[in-house]
Structures are given as C-alpha cells and as structure tokens.
Structure 1
C-alpha cells in the first residue's frame, strides 16, 4: 500500500453566484489545484455533488481538457466532497491510480430559490422536517438540559464570522455581537438567521498522489467514513453526535493518535451553530456539555487552545453542499503549510476535517467523513 499526500488544493470564491456557470466555478478550483500541485494531468477523477445535473462532471471536466480518464460522481449529502476525497485517497493508496483529482461542486442559488426543499420520498421530509428544524431540536434539547445557553449558541456565529474577516474567499464575514446574532430573524426556534449557513455556490478541488516527502505535500495520516445507524431512544445523544464520535474514533485510530488533544486546528461541519457545539464534543475536543462554553470563552477561536473553523466555517465561508468537504480540506492544507494569512494558526502540525451529511430518514446522519492531515 502507498502512503498518500495532498499535492495541491484550490477553490473558487463562495457565495450566491447565479450569473456564473458550473464550468467557471470548477475551472477556478481545478486550475488552482493543478498549479498548486505543479501538474497538468491526472489519472482519474472523483466528483462530489448533491444537486448537480446528470452528466455535469464530464461536461465541466471536458471544458478543462480533462477527458479519456475515469470519472466517478458520488452523492453523500453534505459529505459528498469529502467522500470524493476519501475515494480518491483509496485509489492512490491501493495503487489503482497514480494521481487523482477530487472535485466538489454545487450551485445552490440556481437549484433552489430559497431553502432546500424537503425530499417528498422521505417520510420525515414529506412531513416538513427540514434540516433547520432538526438542528433546532438539538439546540432545544441542549437548552433544556442546561448544556448550552442562547448566548453560547450565538458565540459560535460571532466567532466564525470574525474568522471569515481574514478569508477573502468567504461568502460572509463581519464583526457581529451576541445581541446582533440573537436579534436576527428567527428561522427555526431557537436558531436565528445568523446561526444558519447561507445558500452558496462554489467549487473546491484537491490533487492526491503518493507521499514523497516534498516540502509542500500534506500527508493524509488517517481517514474514515461511516453511514448513520438507526437513531432512536437507545442513544442518549442528540442527532449526529454518535456518527461523528464513531467516525472520528476510526480516523484517529488510523492516524495513530493517542488523544485528539494532539490536534492543532479543526474544520467542522457547522451548518448551524449547534452543529459546531455538538461536533466539538463528539470529536473529544472539549468535554461533553462544554462546547458552548468553549466557544463563548474563546477556546475554539483563533488564538485559543483548539481553533475551530478558522476559515469561517459553513456559517460564514458558505455551504455549497458538494464542495464543502473539499473546501475544508483546502483550508487545513493551507493551515498546515503556514499559508492561511491573517487566520493562520501558529505552528499547526496536525489538522482535522469533519463533514457530516444530513438526512432525516430515521438515521443518525447520512454519512460522516473525518480526515487527519499532517504538515510537511
């Protein structure tokens, strides 16, 4: 088996960009990733997208002159991009291909005029249980149990919007106060507008190949994926906790980590503020019930003990579903190379990416991918 490294990464700008097409978004990300890796050709491509039209992958790649190589499209809800990354990694690790491109791509502003329409073939979706409501239930449970306060929920948004001030590719940034966040329009009680990720368009890409110890290659030290198990009263945790905890345990074991406290920087799936709080606890970054306190006290902010979402996260960088996981990978690669500018985590050597794909069909999430990356 071959040790694998990320040779290059790239992303587009993120935001509502209905005037652009999928080709231009993909081109921006792939061109940067190729230039970063110093390559002009690859042996295979995995593409992650959720709502991309049929044949989209081949069309956007053809426009860039990438033809006659295997192209595989994967859909795994919000974890589609990191699923493409995982499959590209496996293709290199097993020696199936020498150099592989992972591409994530989504144009939400064209697919939907507003929020994502619940899937009518899903029983919960047909009943109107969209993801904002599902996350709101988790937030309500945490509030009821005294595990978080409304001010601590808002602190996640304050933190991540402030981080995004240093990310020129982010959709939103800003110096918000807790009162600003709590005073924004209610979306799903208790989650207000500034506690929910925006509708986004964007692309992100990574070139993976054998780890050769080159100065800018970032090693993939551990990688794992799980699909959700049935979620019912047998679990004491809110939705999404168990799948993140179990996937992370697999990834940390693969990476040979004795403790997650060895990690220097983390990008997590913060589609809603409660999502970051639950995830930091499930990953073991903070003790159970301490996620909100960690955000409010600056533990998970830049300069804190465990910086989380220095990119601004989904809340501020944006959440083009298929591209999100690879955008997280790109951020961690830049962090581990020391190339993140004003949002750089000093001395970062180990970074973690966590992406949890939503879904409400009686499962604890559709899928979760956790990756552990190591600096050159």
Structure 2
C-alpha cells in the first residue's frame, strides 16, 4: 500500500485523426486533470505541482516534437517544476504513472502531474508501422516479424492447445466495442457482432481486423498527491525475454506475470479482490492471455469465461468497461494513463448507468510494451 492517491483525472476524446497538435492534446488533458483535482475543494493544483512526467512513444520518430516535457511545463505555466519524458513504447503511460508514484511516495514531489500523449495520424501509416515495428528484437525485425504476426502465432497456438473456437476471440472484440459505444471518449462507438468480427479482413491468421487495435490520437492525465482520492495500492513493472522466439512457451508472457505479482504483493491483495480490470488488449488474444497470466483465470479457461459473459460490464469480472485498446483506442503514450482514468471514474462512481460497474472498490490495470517485452501493473482502491 502507498500513501499516493489519484486526486484528479482528465483525458481528451480518442480519435482516428485529431486536428490538434501533440502539445494541444497534452495541454487539454492536463488542464482537465488539474480542474478535476481542484473541484474537490482543494486549493488550485497548478500552484501545487512540483513534478511533471510526460509519456510519449513516437514524437521524435514521427518528427513532431522534442523536449516535450519542457514545452508542456511552459504551456501550462508551471515553470520551475522538475520535468521528464518517459518512453516505454506502448507501456509509456503506466511507466510514467510509476515514475510519478515513486516521486510522491519518496517525498521528491508533493504533487505530480502525469500526462500521456500521442498523435499517430501526423505521419503516413507506413511510417507509423515502421516505428512500431522497431519494438521487436533486431534479429526478428530483419526477418520481417511484426507484432501482429506474433499475435497471430499466439492466437493460433491458443485456439489449438485449448480447443477454443474462433468465436472466443470475436467475443472479446464484440464486448469491447459494446462498452466503447457508451463511452464518449472512445474512438469507435459503433457496436459489432460476431459475424462482423469473423468477416473482417485477415491481418495475421487467425486474427482479423476487428481483433486488432487502431492507430489513435489522444491524451490522458493524472494528478498524484497525498490528498484523498483513489489510492494507488500497488504498482509494479517487469521486463520479459525480448526476443519472442527465445521464449519457452509462446503463450507465456513472463513480464505480465511478474509485474502482476509485484503489484499485488505491494498492495497486499490478490486477483480475487479485483472488482474491475483494464487489460491491455492490443490484440484480442492478449486479453485472454493476460487474464490467465495474472491469475484471474486458469490457463486455457479465459475464453470460456468470455463466451459465458463473465467479463462483460455486469459480469463477475468486468474487463475493459471503457472499450479497451480495441475500441477506446490506443494512442501509445496515453493508453496506460487512460486505463487508470477509466478505473478512477469507475471506482468513484462518476459514470452514467450504461457505463458504471456496480459496487466497484478495487481496480486493476495492466499496460504492456511490445508483445510482453515490458509490463506495468497498477492496483487501485476507493472506499
């Protein structure tokens, strides 16, 4: 357990193409988090902020911005704070949260503002794909291996090993699109059915278009402090075997398991205590694999739970009630923070009936870099 709380949250709508710059998106999310902090009767948080932590994965790669943390401090009028930029590919957001939690818990910062942002539409799809493709091990990169191909191989192995139907993966996409349809911040607010998912274009057999997350523009932000709010009970990160081909089992994601164990140990809780979870579903197969690695389900059983409705918003374990990466969107630097924003809203009971999970007190989030090269898990609570 830590003495660090999320005392303010904010985000922009996630979009396929935003007309705002990286700095404008980041500023908008930060302003909303600061306003949320202040609405609870606290003194204006802008004057209290002592550190700024900005997560972004691709700004330099896409030639849009360098020195992003310094520029954001100036845009927000908080010069004088300690500021840094955190890059951990698609887990940059949760890593920045981890940095902010450590800063407040250690006393190095009284109030930490954590902002994640990505504008992926600024470049051609081929350029973004090339930048993301560099996440894999060099040996695998030169062989043309991609993250979708890893996911396709894992999905085929999972379906074969556990005699699971292809509809189990489609059910993940259908659920998350259904949840996103009620989320005004989501990129995709149109529901789909199993036939839509199964009939969409093939990306990496057996995965199809609706099994894969989109490219997204957007930003999200947190204010971390010792004030009352949603408590960060535990947070932990871990790396895994970088070259996927060197892993003993293509379905075992070591970083997910280790990060989960560390977060739960620090929180003095287990997966059984979790009421709502945000799982990194960059591909539908990852939602199933991560749920099993984290102990929510035994190996080879998450697909059955999904088909039975256990992970729906009104199920035994609501998973990705905001739509997940699959339908809320996946702006790399903002994704991990958007998961925590969603959990804060859920735990505070801020949402409308068609969005709110009932009686949620403990929340869990996992943000993954690459195909399990690095993972960060966070456990939150609210009385």
User: TM over 0.5, yes or no?
Assistant: yes
Q: Tell me what 2:349 maps to.
A: 338
Local SS of the residue matching 1:207:
strand
Task: State the 1:283 CA deviation.
Answer: 1.2
Superposition map of 1:6-17 within 5 A: 6-17=6-17
Q: Tell me what 1:238 maps to.
A: 251
Local SS of the residue matching 2:125:
coil
Task: State the 1:173 CA deviation.
Answer: 2.5
Task: State the 1:68 CA deviation.
Answer: 2.0
Whether contact under 8 Å (2:52, 2:69) holds in the other structure is no
Equivalenced residues, count: 365
Match of 1:40 among 17, 35, 46: 46
What CA RMSD, in Å, does the superposition of the two structures yield over aligned residues? 1.8
Counterparts of 1:170 and 1:228 in 2: how far apart (Å)?
30
Task: State the 1:36 CA deviation.
Answer: 0.7
Superposition map of 1:26-105 within 5 A: 26-38=26-38, 39-41=45-47, 42-53=49-60, 54-105=66-117
Asked whether 1:198 is paired with 2:214, we answer: yes
Give per-residue Cα distances to partners, 1:20-66, cap 9 Å, x unaligned: 21122112211110001112231011111111232122223322223
Counterparts of 2:71 and 2:191 in 1: how far apart (Å)?
40
Normalised TM-score (structure 1): 0.93
Give per-residue Cα distances to partners, 1:224-247, cap 9 Å, x unaligned: 0111235566633515x2211121
Superposition map of 1:334-373 within 5 A: 334-341=345-352, 342-358=354-370, 365-373=372-380
Match of 2:295 among 281, 284, 288: 284
Normalised TM-score (structure 2): 0.91
Superposition map of 1:1-376 within 5 A: 3-38=3-38, 39-41=45-47, 42-53=49-60, 54-114=66-126, 116-117=129-130, 118-119=133-134, 122-210=138-226, 212=227, 214=228, 217-229=229-241, 235-238=248-251, 241-257=253-269, 259-341=270-352, 342-358=354-370, 365-376=372-383
Counterparts of 1:371 and 1:309 in 2: how far apart (Å)?
14
Counterparts of 1:181 and 1:268 in 2: how far apart (Å)?
20
Counterparts of 1:372 and 1:237 in 2: how far apart (Å)?
27
Q: Tell me what 1:362 maps to.
A: none
Counterparts of 1:48 and 1:128 in 2: how far apart (Å)?
28
Which has the larger displacement, 130-139 or 12-21? 12-21
Counterparts of 1:340 and 1:367 in 2: how far apart (Å)?
31
Counterparts of 1:172 and 1:2 in 2: how far apart (Å)?
35
Counterparts of 1:27 and 1:122 in 2: how far apart (Å)?
35
Q: Structure 1's 260 and 61: CA in aligned 2 closer, same or farther, altered over 3 A? A: same
Give per-residue Cα distances to partners, 1:228-285, cap 9 Å, x unaligned: 235566633515x22111211111111111x311110000100010010101111111
Which portions of structure 1, spanning 4 or more consecutive aligned residues, are displaced by more than 4 angstroms?
A: 230-234
| Unpaired stretches in structure 2, ≥5 consecutive residues | 39-44, 61-65
Whether contact under 8 Å (2:275, 2:360) holds in the other structure is yes
Local SS of the residue matching 1:72:
strand
Whether contact under 8 Å (1:22, 1:60) holds in the other structure is no
Task: State the 1:295 CA deviation.
Answer: 1.4
